[in-house]
Structure 1
Amino acid sequence: MLLIYTQKITPRIIYIFKHLCTGILGISIKFTTKIEEFIAHDGMKLSYGKQPLGKELFFQKIDLLTEQGFSEVEIKVQPWEDSVCFFPVPEASALPFDIFAASFYLLSRYEEYAPHVKDEAERFPVSESLAYQEGFLSSPVVDKWALKFRNVLAERFPDIKLQERFFEANAVMAVENIFAYKNKGVLRSFSGMQRDFFQLNFNKVFDRLQVGFRIKKDPFNIFEDLIELIKKYKLEMYFMFQLSNFSIHDRNINYNRIPGRSVIKSVGDYARVGLLQGYYAAKDMKTLRTEKLRMENIVHSSLDHVLNSRHDLGLPENYNNLVELEVHNDFSMGYPDAMGFRAGTCTPFLFYDINMEVTTPLMLHPYVFNSGIYENVKAEQVHQEVAKALRQVQEVGGKFRAVFKNQDFSSYSNKVMFYSVLKQIYEIKDF
């Protein structure tokens, strides 16, 4: 057990120390504000404050973790060993920066609460992020810092027992449309065919007719192929299905259609199934509850996994809605238009609500790769960037998650490339 002395124990301090010490390093911790208790403790201990009490392991703090709400924070990023750091502190500290405040800043998405310019889809854009502007978006800096912190602890306390970290990779399939043409209804099918005809997409016109007459399999229905891969190579994979009402933003088939429900049930036998939040579900609690109940009625179990179809975190309202509905895992922590680590980490972490200053039970699972970035990119470049990101995650024993769409593996996309990326992620040799 590691005893931590600090003059004031705040929710932010508890949150970030538990994540770094217990969540990443596997060390149980205890806090104290009593100097006498800290001095009398014979085991592992450290102090976190403005100045050391004596010759103990000391980490100097800035004020971020003792504040409430958010304010303008001045940040100067500087190189540090094989990484970067910010929030520098004097030499008396065991590390040259406040690792706990810096980690909290990134994990809490502090910058997304502050005023910022939104993109065309009303989202926090990657260009507004500190990591992008300072060139460390491609590095899981929080995990790297945690391992540096581990080295400091191991040097000071040689008998300390630390948990091992193991690399893991898996894919998340965002299914906005189970089918391209099947079960879309007469009016939608006719208008779609008319549009394809006037746009000279004759291949799609023929495909519509063949699917309609059951001559050909629907091009988006690639689920049997992916299930075969899951079964053959024992892969862990997530499928997030959209069950929204039809609108200009959400255009899946009706959630009551038997073929669609059948696909969800069959996939659920071999993979983890969750909800792809529709456009309105990300903003409205009532709509989210409706979509949640629809999924639970199909799979006959509680909903545990969600992905935001717009990749809009909607801090903190969207996450608080998930908490209220007792959803446990969200996979939206990433940028749909840039590869990298949105929260500076490849380790799942609990959502901290800055408005309420509370740690929630919602676990956030960061993703690194989004297939939407690579629709018009050469395969060689994609493989190089994926390989670089994989190395970054492997070096810190983290979790590499990639988000795909089911249509990525259809004849309407570069399915050869995306299958090869899937092979690269899962390290399949005889694909």
Structure 2
Amino acid sequence: MSSSLYELPEITIRTRIRHPRFRYVLKVVGADLGYRFRFYNERSVLPRTAPEFLITYGEAGDRNLPAHPLLCGRSYDPGDDLANWRPDHLEPPPLCQTSEGPDLLAAIFFCLSRYEEYQPFTPDAHGRFPASASHALRFGFLDRPVVREWTAAIGRRLRSWFPGLPDPRRKPLIFQPSYDIDLLWAFQYRGWRGYASGIRDVLTGEFARGIKRFVAPARRDPYQTLPFLEGIHRDHGLHPTYFWLVSDRTHTHDTNPHPIPEEQRTWMRQLAASATTGLHPSYATSDRPDLIGEEKARIEGILEASVDRSRQHFLRFRLPDTYRQLLRQGIRSDYTMGYGDAIGWRAGTNLPFPWYDLEREKETRLTVYPFAAMDVTLRSYLGLSAGEAEAEVMRLFAVAKPHGGPFMLLWHNSSFAPEYGWGGWKEMYVRLVGHLTGSESAKTG
């Protein structure tokens, strides 16, 4: 039986600060630690006994947490705080410094709110906030779940002040596979685009691949890997999440067949019975938000069920606009929080967290689910071999393991085809899943 909110250990805070940013970060940190934070109020506490676990924030006292103006609604530039920090330091980066040391709560808010993404930046070719613009990559801590590190440090400090306080909640690290299905078949249901691609393959020397495009119905399609993936999931007791691209092909980057073939519809309904299904809003939705509603209605019509999860195609989103549009269309969980050009934790955490709309200064009903690495990033952006990519993912897994929670990867059904440069990745993925789940064996058929 799960504990209710009122059964959690209660930490009372005496402070003059009541800003929504402060309330938000206390809620997030409390959920991770398994504590409840409440504000001190003399009229509600006295004349009864004083709170058992009483601390202060930004006030004098032995049990005081340093306070940074960021949690009062002020602006902040972390450049000076990070100037002398090096990524080989064992301690987390010193964001939100005060005369009494770093304000870890403010540092957590800085990362979770994606504060830096609201500042001026130079977008990449797809209009995205690039990893190269983030302080985490520039200063070398993108591959660390620093929000979890800071939260653990707060927990240790509270326990040192109050030996009678129960230990923070501990969680195992659990692998969560997720897949973007941009194109279910490499050769079938491609229409004139498929024929044009076949001719191009022949003209550029890819004769075998070009011929396959014309005889694919009689052969095994290299992108149709769903039976292979479902076999792995059954072997390891995994519950994956699939995000389906169902655009009307408004943009050239939206390559799914349209209308959606009946064979694909069958697969979508079949997988929805045993896995979580989400929408993969098209590339075009970033420029035409009205398309989100159309695509959501399309996938719900196919599944005959409501869909409230999504991940943007090409990881293309801008804050706060994209998240507001998702909320307007009934999306309640988004899985886009990660980078295309780097691996690690974009928001500094592997835990899902509520999105805070920084412009409106309010917590929203949208839950953000971060991922640690994407297959295309590993091979195309970083230029890694299958073995090198496996090692990088396992390195991230080892870093996150002390903190527990979900460890999500973003993969594509198309990322196993040797014809398209993915030779050895199918075998690697089998090994990788075995390592991430504590088992060394899985079916490869």
TM-score relative to the length of structure 2: 0.89
Which residue identity lines up with residue 368 of structure 1 in the other structure? A
Instruction: Give the match's secondary structure for 2:229.
Output: helix
Task: Determine the structure 1 residue equivalent to 2:145.
Answer: 140
Which residue of the other structure, out of 386, 405, 412, is the alignment partner of 1:405? 412
Tell whether 2:398 aligns with 1:391.
yes
Instruction: Give the match's secondary structure for 2:285.
Output: coil
Which residue identity lines up with residue 180 of structure 1 in the other structure? A
Which residue of the other structure, out of 210, 223, 226, is the alignment partner of 2:226? 223
Which residue identity lines up with residue 219 of structure 2 in the other structure? K
Instruction: Give the match's secondary structure for 2:218.
Output: coil
Tell whether 2:200 aligns with 1:195.
yes
- Most deviating of 379-388 and 256-265: 379-388
Instruction: Give the match's secondary structure for 1:82.
Output: coil
Task: Determine the structure 1 residue equivalent to 2:95.
Answer: 86
* 1:280-299 aligned within 5 A: 280-299=284-303
Percent of aligned positions with the same letter in both sequences? 25
Which residue identity lines up with residue 267 of structure 1 in the other structure? L
C-alpha separation in 2, matches of 1:35 and 1:71: 35
Instruction: Give the match's secondary structure for 2:315.
Output: coil
Which residue of the other structure, out of 428, 432, 436, is the alignment partner of 1:417? 428
Task: Determine the structure 2 residue equivalent to 1:183.
Answer: 189
Task: Determine the structure 2 residue equivalent to 1:364.
Answer: 368
The answer as to whether partners of 1:281 and 1:291 remain within 8 angstroms in 2 is no
* 1:23-62 aligned within 5 A: 23-32=31-40, 37=45, 41-49=50-58, 51-52=59-60, 54-55=61-62, 57-62=63-68
Task: Determine the structure 1 residue equivalent to 2:106.
Answer: 101
**C-alpha spacing 1:389/1:419, structure 2 compared with 1 (3 Å):** same
- 1:393 deviation in Å? 0.8
C-alpha separation in 1, matches of 2:437 and 2:53: 39
**C-alpha spacing 1:209/1:388, structure 2 compared with 1 (3 Å):** same
Which residue of the other structure, out of 325, 336, 339, is the alignment partner of 2:340? 336
C-alpha separation in 1, matches of 2:223 and 2:364: 37
Which residue of the other structure, out of 114, 120, 125, is the alignment partner of 2:125? 120
C-alpha separation in 2, matches of 1:128 and 1:210: 46
C-alpha separation in 1, matches of 2:359 and 2:327: 14
Instruction: Give the match's secondary structure for 2:356.
Output: strand
Task: Determine the structure 1 residue equivalent to 2:158.
Answer: 153
Tell whether 2:72 aligns with 1:66.
yes
The answer as to whether partners of 1:71 and 1:114 remain within 8 angstroms in 2 is no
C-alpha separation in 2, matches of 1:19 and 1:366: 15
C-alpha separation in 2, matches of 1:303 and 1:360: 18
Which residue identity lines up with residue 180 of structure 2 in the other structure? A
C-alpha separation in 1, matches of 2:377 and 2:405: 22
Tell whether 2:339 aligns with 1:320.
no
The answer as to whether partners of 2:181 and 2:412 remain within 8 angstroms in 1 is yes
C-alpha separation in 2, matches of 1:265 and 1:99: 45
C-alpha separation in 2, matches of 1:193 and 1:36: 75
- 1:321 deviation in Å? 1.2
- 1:210 deviation in Å? 2.2
Instruction: Give the match's secondary structure for 1:13.
Output: helix
Instruction: Give the match's secondary structure for 1:145.
Output: helix
- Most deviating of 2-11 and 154-163: 154-163
How well do the aligned residues superpose, as a CA RMSD in angstroms?
A: 2.1
The answer as to whether partners of 2:254 and 2:282 remain within 8 angstroms in 1 is yes
**C-alpha spacing 1:74/1:6, structure 2 compared with 1 (3 Å):** farther
- Most deviating of 352-361 and 417-426: 417-426
Instruction: Give the match's secondary structure for 1:399.
Output: strand
* 1:235-274 aligned within 5 A: 235-246=238-249, 247-274=251-278
Which residue of the other structure, out of 273, 279, 302, is the alignment partner of 2:283? 279
C-alpha separation in 2, matches of 1:303 and 1:282: 19
Tell whether 2:20 aligns with 1:11.
yes
**C-alpha spacing 1:330/1:44, structure 2 compared with 1 (3 Å):** same
Task: Determine the structure 2 residue equivalent to 1:381.
Answer: 388
- Most deviating of 38-47 and 159-168: 38-47
- 1:34 deviation in Å? 5.5
Which residue identity lines up with residue 127 of structure 1 in the other structure? S
| Count, aligned residues | 419
C-alpha separation in 2, matches of 1:368 and 1:379: 17
TM-score relative to the length of structure 1: 0.91
- 1:36 deviation in Å? 8.9
Which residue identity lines up with residue 31 of structure 1 in the other structure? F
Which residue identity lines up with residue 220 of structure 2 in the other structure? K
- 1:8 deviation in Å? 2.6
The answer as to whether partners of 2:308 and 2:332 remain within 8 angstroms in 1 is yes
> Which stretches of structure 1, 4 residues or more, deviate above 6 A after TM superposition?
none
Task: Determine the structure 2 residue equivalent to 1:207.
Answer: 212
C-alpha separation in 2, matches of 1:417 and 1:423: 10
C-alpha separation in 2, matches of 1:38 and 1:416: 65
The answer as to whether partners of 1:242 and 1:275 remain within 8 angstroms in 2 is yes
C-alpha separation in 2, matches of 1:303 and 1:337: 28
Instruction: Give the match's secondary structure for 2:233.
Output: helix
C-alpha separation in 2, matches of 1:420 and 1:150: 35
Unmatched 5+ stretches in structure 1: none
Which residue of the other structure, out of 230, 234, 237, is the alignment partner of 1:234? 237
- 1:202 deviation in Å? 1.0
Instruction: Give the match's secondary structure for 2:97.
Output: coil
The answer as to whether partners of 1:168 and 1:399 remain within 8 angstroms in 2 is yes
